[in-house]
Amino acid sequence: MTHAIDQILAAVESQLAGIAGSLGVHRKPFHLLDESDLDCIVIDDIADETKEVVGLWPRTETHELQFDVIPLVMATAETSLPLLGDLHGAVESRLFGSKGAIKLNGLLNMPILRPSATFFSDSESLQKPVCGWRIRVSCIYHTRSDLPGIFDRG
């Protein structure tokens, strides 16, 4: 069975697929992208933290999954806003613009959250200037040790 993390990330990728101005969604650090991948959306800095454990067997765990969604364009900080603005807006809308979006179309019972977003510019990682918004996303889910691959959606 597919792990809960992979199910959640696949749902996020699906929601972000096909956004105008993006050449795709990549689940890897942006410094591993090729120039031909840009402009795109990157899912990076994925971390899963166990927040609570109840019982020995079966054991129920509460997890917080956090990751960054990064709309990324090839541009300098000075020229990026026209290119990045529409892509950033579309990503935010696809993730947080409706009840269905924040619950990943029924995959989660509790909504995904957006604790922060940070603009950045980088001219070294790809040997070309890139700019993006590092949008932090988090969600809560629960697992049971006797039911691998199945999770309570928070």
Domain ranges of the chain: 4-152
pLDDT of residue 31: 77
pLDDT in tens, 62-84: 999 999 999 999 988 788 888 89
pTM of the model: 0.91
Q: 36 — phi, psi (to 5°)?
A: -70, -15
* 20 phi and psi angles, rounded to 5 deg: -60, 135
Q: What's the 3-state SS for the chain? A: CCCHHHHHHHHHHHHHCCCCCCCCEECCCHHHCCHHHCCEEEEEEEEEEEEEEECCCCCEEEEEEEEEEEEEEECCCCCHHHHHHHHHHHHHHHHHCCHHHHCHHHCCCCCCEEEEEEEEEECCCCCCCEEEEEEEEEEEEEEECCCCCCEECC
4-152 CATH, one of 3.40.50.1100, 3.30.2000.10, 3.40.50.720, 3.30.43.10: 3.30.2000.10
For the chain, which ranges sit under pLDDT 70? 1, 149, 152-154
